[in-house]
Amino acid sequence: MNVTQDLSILHLIINASAVVQIVMAILAGVSVMSWYYIFMKWFAVRQARSKTEIFERDFWSGGDLNSLYNSAVNDRHHAGSMERIFEAGFREFAKLKGQKNLDPKDVVDGSRRAMRATYQREVDGLESHLAFLASVGSVSPYIGLFGTVWGIMHSFRGLANVGQATLSAVAPGIAEALVATAIGLFAAIPAVLAYNRFAHDIDRLSIRYESFMEEFSNILQRQMR
Amino acid sequence: MILERPEEPGKKYALTFTILVHVGLIAALFLGVQWKRSPPEVMNVELWSSKPTPATYVPPPPPPVQEVKPVAKPLPKVEAKPEPAPTKPDIVVKEEKKQPKPEPKKPEPKAEPAKPEPKKPEPQLPDFSKELARETANLKSRPNTQQIANAAAAEAEQRAASNRRGTEAYATKIRIKIRGNMVQPPSIQGNPEAVFIVDQLPSGEVLKVDLKRSSGNPGLDQAIERAIRKSSPLPKPDDPAFFQRSLEIKYKPFEE
């Protein structure tokens, strides 16, 4: 008969059963981490795109390859992914070109392999933490649901001790259980959105890198003659 | 040739934004959603109004009245229960409210008993006179008078705990109905108390009657049990919230 008059969210969280509280704590932590990665990825992808654009402009403006290479090496910490791919390919090319008994085809292949290795590392770096966002997006609703189901089980069990099944006897228990689902969804929705968005952005970036590698290989091949 | 990866950009910004987002969420939860429920004042009102209704129920029980006895004895007995907490006082109040009928009622228990010990009468007599005075003065002030009999402290408590009042009203209804169905066996020594645990359905039907503490008189125990079963369905509380599946019923043969 003790009607909880104060259903503030704090009250709900404090009164929840231990399992529900643990679930809510996990979800809160997951939510913080996923938002952190979302913002980090957001900045990283934006930066990678703008640097790629700058480098493509420089590259296709017909500058000297050597000076491009030098600026990439000197300014390594501010170089974008594409610049590093170019740097790796050109360095390999320069090394192999000096050797006498090598087929031109091998030289281009070697530099292409170097570029591919760097490319993979770069894409890997860009994609880091995306898996985390994906699993948060798919799993945290379930964690929240688990907390809710558990909480509702609890409140129904408590209902057995109350003579009459009034709504006010179950409502607080269900409300506090539902908080778990709310937190789970709050973590999951942005994570899914961000994952899809970033996966798409990174796909496009990596396609740009790949086409650049092909074009650059052609340029190198032309230089061999 | 692994190049050191450049620092991921914007860690600090990311952290700041993360905190901002969550602070925003928490603020929205706390301020945006009205989690407060309006206090159930309606319930209180109903409880007050519920008092009169039990009174109307009181009349039915009188039928088994035996008006043989003089008024003098009944009075002491009415108050006979100083110990029995709040529930019993209620009964007294209700009976008195219906001044015409109550008096006949009180006689009944005494008529049969004839044995009631003189112990109780002494403390009770003064109380009863007080109550009478108050009744005449003000019908509505009844609850207070009753409380005075118990303890001054109880008064304040009763006002605060409207819940309890509802339960009391409910318990009184039940007791009155059972008493109405009671056929007392002839030979009862003293005023022994029997305690029963009664399981009931939400509709009031009696499912199970368990004897928790015997009165020491098997005949009386059986009579009480029969009365409880005969009282099925038990009266329902005015507010369904006071319904309890399992009731503990204490019965004293001569409490009224």
pLDDT in tens, B4-36: 555 666 788 889 999 999 899 888 877 766 655
Cβ–Cβ gap A36/B15 under 8 Å:
yes
Residues of B in contact with A1 (CB under 8 A): 163, 241-242
- Asked which of A98-112, B121-135, B157-171, B216-230 is least confident by mean pLDDT, the reply is B121-135
Are B86 and B150 spatial neighbours (Cβ–Cβ below 8 Å)? yes
User: In Å, how far is A8's CA from the nearest CA of chain B?
Assistant: 5
In single-letter form, the type of residue at position B182 comes to: M
Distance from CA of B234 to the nearest CA of A (A): 15
State yes or no: pLDDT of B133 exceeds 60: yes
Residue A204 has pLDDT above 80, yes or no: yes
Contact A115, A219 (CB under 8 A): no
On the question of pLDDT at A208 being above 90, the answer is yes
Q: Quick check: A43 and B10 CB within 8 A? A: yes
- Name every chain A residue with its beta carbon within 8 A of the beta carbon of B10: 39-40, 43-44, 47
| Alpha-carbon distances, residue A39 vs A86, A121, A139, A183 (angstroms) | 28, 21, 20, 19
Q: Return the closest-CA partner of residue A77 out of B157, B166, B8.
A: B8
Residues in B closer than 8 angstroms to A6, CB to CB, are 35-37
Contact A39 B246 (CB under 8 A): no
By C-alpha distance, the chain A residue nearest B8 is A44
Query: For B36, which of A7, A47, A168 is closest by C-beta distance?
Result: A7
Please provide the average confidence, as pLDDT, over all residues in chain A: 86
pLDDT band at residue B146, thresholds of 50, 70 and 90?
Answer: low
Q: How far apart are CA A216 and CA A84, in angstroms?
A: 13
Q: For residue B62, what pLDDT is reported? A: 53
Which of A9-13, A164-168, A218-222, B80-84 comes out lowest in average pLDDT?
A: B80-84
Residue B90 pLDDT class (50, 70, 90 cuts): very low
Q: Is B201 on the interface with A (CB under 8 A)?
A: no
d(CA A153, CA A174): 9
B6 contacts A164? CB cut-off 8 A? no
Q: What's the whole-number mean pLDDT along residues A160-176?
A: 75
Contact check, Cβ <8 Å, B37/A7:
yes
**What is the distance between the alpha carbons of residues B68 and B80, in angstroms, rounded to a whole number?**
19
Whole-number pLDDT of residue B217: 80
The full length of chain A comes to 225
- Measured between CA atoms, the residue of chain B closest to residue A114 is B1
User: How far, in Å, CA of B93 to CA of B85, rounded?
Assistant: 14
How many whole angstroms separate alpha carbon A68 and alpha carbon A88? 12
- Number of Cβ within 10 Å of residue B158's Cβ equals 19
- In the prediction, which pLDDT does A168 show? 73
- Whether B244 and chain A come into contact, CB under 8 Å, resolves to yes
- Whether residue B12 lies within 8 A of chain A, CB to CB, comes out as no
Rounded to whole angstroms, the Cα distance separating B58 from B122 reads: 26
Tell me what pLDDT residue A179 has. Answer: 85
- B71: confidence class by pLDDT, cuts 50, 70, 90: very low
User: How large is the average pLDDT for residues A169-190?
Assistant: 85
pLDDT at site B199: 81
Residues near B21 by Cβ (< 8 Å), separated by ≥ 6?
Answer: A35
**Using an 8 Å Cβ cutoff, are B54 and B173 in contact?**
yes
Please give the share of chain B, as a percent, with pLDDT higher than 70: 43
Per-residue pLDDT, averaged over B57-86, amounts to 49
CA distance A108 to A170: 73
Chain A residue closest in CA terms to B27: A9
Closest residue of chain A to B25, computed from CA coordinates? A186
Q: State how far residue A106 is from chain B, nearest Cα, in angstroms.
A: 20
Q: Which amino acid type is present at position A2?
A: N
Distance from CA of B8 to the nearest CA of A (A): 7
d(CA B173, CA B193): 19
Does B45 have pLDDT greater than 50? no
pLDDT at position B130 is 67
DSSP label at B106? T
Nearest residue on chain A to B166, alpha-carbon basis: A1
In angstroms, the Cα distances linking A169 to A8, A145, B163 are 17, 21, 15
Distances in Å between the alpha carbon of A5 and those of A172, A200, B244? Answer: 10, 48, 22
Q: Residue A6 is nearest to which of B6, B14, B36, comparing CB atoms? A: B36
| Closest-CA residue to B67 (of B105, B93, B37, B20) | B105
B145: closest CA of chain A, how far (Å): 27
Please answer whether residues A89 and A112 qualify as being in contact, where contact means their C-beta atoms are separated by less than 8 angstroms.
Answer: yes
List the domain boundaries for chain B. Answer: 44-184+192-251
pLDDT in tens, B179-199: 788 887 777 777 777 888 888
Q: Which residues of B touch A42 (CB under 8 A)?
A: 14
ipTM: 0.71
Mutation pick from A4, A8, A90 vs chain B, by most beta carbons of B within 10 Å, is A8
Q: Which contiguous run of DSSP H or E holds residue B210?
A: strand B206-213
Determine the residue among A39, A77, A86, A92 to mutate to test chain B binding: the one whose Cβ has the most chain B Cβ atoms within 10 Å: A39
